Structure 1
Amino acid sequence: MEGELMSVMKMWIWVGTSVSYCYWMRKVIPPGPTRLLSLLPVISLFFFLPLTFSTVHLSGTLGFFLAWLANFKLLLLAFDKGPLSHPQVSLPRFAALACLPINLTKHPSTNTSHPLRYAFKALLVGLLVKAYDYTQNIHPKLIMCIYCFHIYFLLEIILALVAALARTLLGLELEPQFNNPLRSTSLQDFWGRRWNLMVTTILRPTVYHPTLRAAAALLGPKWAPLPAVFATFLVSGLMHELILFYIGRMEPTFWMTAFFLLHGLSLTLEIALKRALAATFRLPSLVSGPLTAAFVFATCISLFLPEFIRCRIDVRAFQEYAALGQLFTNLASRFSNFFHTNIII
């Protein structure tokens, strides 16, 4: 664990140097293919860096931060689009926007989430981790449901901490990362307005809008959103496969991609039905909400989470929790010994 933490410090030197290079390249090279070529070495480096770590939390987090979000933002920057293309952004803000799962908003923050809310969710994560000690007495499907909530709470806490850090150090007004996904009334509501909005924000300009423009020329504006939605979910599935590879280093089975393709097809069908039946029929939210939750949980348990189990991510994560606890214990012991030796004596 200590070796991994030292590698993190070295990695951020590479990342800081690379981001500074991108910051100055956008000033001297006009947008287009030439700027894209100048950014390709950094994009390649960001795909490689997560492979230098072996722990679940570091390889997965860096895969999400760098290989996915940062690289997609750099692709947008190549054509003078996205959050990195703002002409007045400073280098520290440019670096934060490039490397962290945050996004500027044009309006003042209205997020009134109390810190106690996240403290409560951190407590729930602890209870869920403790529940894994009794897995032999719990039905496997229920264990999968626990995994669902564990991933959701942990993601929300991590992203909230990153957002709070960026807000405190750089004064950035940030978009929220989650918007009560358990209250979703449809797949369109869940994926478009409630779940991991940072991913939604980056996929719209990089995948959805280009596909939408191409499809509009072939199918017309009414039906163009359907292939655009499907293409967006396909790319999301492939990027999830990449992050899973960073974590597990195992040959992909593409079941996770199947999960996103199924949701893409289902969401495409949902949009088509809404367009066809909106004037005559619509399910009440009291019905559509539970149906949406049931579909998300059922597909997650059958297609998404088994891939994590196949890579033994749960077992390795608990080992890392124990190693991190031992690291803090060792550091506390060293500090105590130093204090007694050099201060008291």
Structure 2
Amino acid sequence: MSSNYICFSIIPSLCYCYFISAKIPEGIPRLISLLPIFYLFTILPLYFSSAFLTAITTFSITWLAIFKLVLFAFDQGPLIHNASNPKIISLPVFISIAALPLRTTFTPNPNRKNPMSSALQLVIFAVLMEIVLHHKSEIHPKLVLIFYSVMIFLMIDILIALSSLIVKSFLCLDIEIESPSDEPYFSTSLQDFWGRRWNLTVTHTLRFTVYNPVRLVLLNVIGRKWAQHSASLATFLVSGLMHELIFYYVNNGVRPSGEITGFFMLHGLCLMVEIEVKKALKDTLRLPGLVSGPLAVGFVVVTAFGLFFPPIIRNGVDESILEEVRFCFDFLKDKILQLVIFDKICNFGY
């Protein structure tokens, strides 16, 4: 099965969801009608030979698209215009939101912050990529991992920026696209980092597919406080398992070690402790943001060194992905240069 066939199979699948599944009553009946699509989206990454394309497909389609469609089955989530008065969005918008890792809103946000520009992010990413690819053996391993941490943040923002470009410039769709992150390096706590700043596309999806349902189910069983903590741990567990799935596909079926799930569960437990400590101390003995911020971000980075990155580095997947990304960068750079030269030649004639 060719990569082109794989990519183009996504659009007919989403058309089926739009024209057929949407006509089926919400709830379990509609969810059952979506099961063949879930199966297809789950096996799609197996047909890619590229580690980078496998990672992108697993993240965007096998994870986020399936979770969005689960919400769609119950008239919830970004594929429904208004949950209180369900109304399905137009087909181009439906396909774009389902297939791309976007966080959208249908009302403009006048208070939106201006994050680091995409051009600057591309430059920083390219510089770090060249340093790692050509001088990795000369750099301290811990510094390489710091570079990887920054590159993951930049890659997520760059992917969202490219998705936004596709939606707004090529498809000419008038939808408001939210920033994927909110300056996570300025986080003041773990709660702030995971809940309000880091990878908000995933955060919002997990909130509606995992956190809210688990909390509602357990609310009358174990009480409000423990229902919230249990829902939070369940959310981190699902996030860890989905990250394990991404690296399972990228590693060509190598058995997951569980380290990545351990990373997320550790943070789930630490977040639960942090929340209770803040409640106990109230505003009396809280650390100032200038102290708690670096501690929180530092804890994320250090624990990632020991649990998140080893499964990626162990089989050389990091280098494979970077080589493929560099190839994409060189290809785009050559195409842009050709367009610039062509434009100068055309203008010279006038």
1:244 deviation in Å?
Answer: 0.7
In the other structure, the counterpart of 2:80 is: 85
Instruction: Give yes or no for contact 2:67–2:205 (8 Å, CA) kept in 1.
Output: yes
1:56 deviation in Å?
Answer: 1.7
What fraction of aligned residue pairs are identical, expressed as a percent?
42
1:13 deviation in Å?
Answer: 2.1
TM-score, normalization by structure 1: 0.89
Q: Amino acid of the residue matched to residue 52 of structure 2? A: H
1:322 deviation in Å?
Answer: 5.7
In the other structure, the counterpart of 1:101 is: 101
Q: Amino acid of the residue matched to residue 84 of structure 1? A: L
Task: State the secondary structure of the residue aligned to 1:293.
Answer: helix
CA RMSD across the alignment: 2.5
1:25 deviation in Å?
Answer: 2.4
In the other structure, the counterpart of 2:124 is: 124
Q: Amino acid of the residue matched to residue 42 of structure 1? A: I
Task: State the secondary structure of the residue aligned to 1:223.
Answer: helix
Cα distance change, pair 12–222 in 1 and its aligned pair in 2 (3 A): same
Q: 2:234, 2:301 → 1: CA distance? A: 23
Would you tell me which structure has more helix in proportion to its own residues?
A: 1
Q: 1:22, 1:205 → 2: CA distance? A: 20
Q: 1:331, 1:179 → 2: CA distance? A: 32
More off after superposition, 52-61 vs 273-282: 273-282
1:327 deviation in Å?
Answer: 6.4
1:284 matched to 2:285: no
Q: Amino acid of the residue matched to residue 234 of structure 2? A: A
Task: State the secondary structure of the residue aligned to 1:170.
Answer: coil
1:210 matched to 2:209: no
Instruction: Give yes or no for contact 1:69–1:101 (8 Å, CA) kept in 2.
Output: yes
Q: 1:219, 1:93 → 2: CA distance? A: 40
1:236-265 CA-partner distances (Å, limit 9, x unpaired): 000000011111121100100000000111
Cα distance change, pair 90–134 in 1 and its aligned pair in 2 (3 A): same
Q: 1:326, 1:122 → 2: CA distance? A: 13
1:50 deviation in Å?
Answer: 1.1
Q: 1:266 aligns with which of 270, 278, 282?
A: 270
Q: 2:325, 2:76 → 1: CA distance? A: 40
Q: 1:304, 1:164 → 2: CA distance? A: 30
Give runs of ≥4 in structure 1 deviating > 6 Å: 325-332
Task: State the secondary structure of the residue aligned to 1:129.
Answer: helix
Q: Amino acid of the residue matched to residue 320 of structure 1? A: E
Q: 1:238, 1:171 → 2: CA distance? A: 34
Q: 1:167, 1:273 → 2: CA distance? A: 45
More off after superposition, 220-229 vs 204-213: 220-229
Q: 1:96, 1:161 → 2: CA distance? A: 12
1:218 deviation in Å?
Answer: 1.9
Unaligned 5+ segments in structure 1 are: 1-5, 336-345
Q: Amino acid of the residue matched to residue 167 of structure 1? A: K
Q: 1:28, 1:52 → 2: CA distance? A: 31
1:27-79 CA-partner distances (Å, limit 9, x unpaired): 32101211111100001100111111021210000101101000001111112
Q: Amino acid of the residue matched to residue 248 of structure 1? A: N
Q: 2:193, 2:217 → 1: CA distance? A: 26
Q: Amino acid of the residue matched to residue 179 of structure 2? A: P
More off after superposition, 161-170 vs 96-105: 161-170
Q: 2:52, 2:265 → 1: CA distance? A: 26
In the other structure, the counterpart of 1:37 is: 32
Task: State the secondary structure of the residue aligned to 1:281.
Answer: coil
Q: 2:59, 2:326 → 1: CA distance? A: 24
Cα distance change, pair 331–141 in 1 and its aligned pair in 2 (3 A): closer
Instruction: Give yes or no for contact 2:3–2:47 (8 Å, CA) kept in 1.
Output: no
Cα distance change, pair 131–41 in 1 and its aligned pair in 2 (3 A): same
Instruction: Give yes or no for contact 2:237–2:265 (8 Å, CA) kept in 1.
Output: yes
More off after superposition, 180-189 vs 135-144: 135-144
Q: 2:177 aligns with which of 140, 158, 174?
A: 174
Unaligned 5+ segments in structure 2 are: 82-86, 340-350
Instruction: Give yes or no for contact 1:59–1:246 (8 Å, CA) kept in 2.
Output: yes
Q: Amino acid of the residue matched to residue 94 of structure 1? A: F
Q: 1:204, 1:304 → 2: CA distance? A: 22
Q: 1:37, 1:22 → 2: CA distance? A: 11
Cα distance change, pair 244–283 in 1 and its aligned pair in 2 (3 A): same
1:220 matched to 2:223: yes
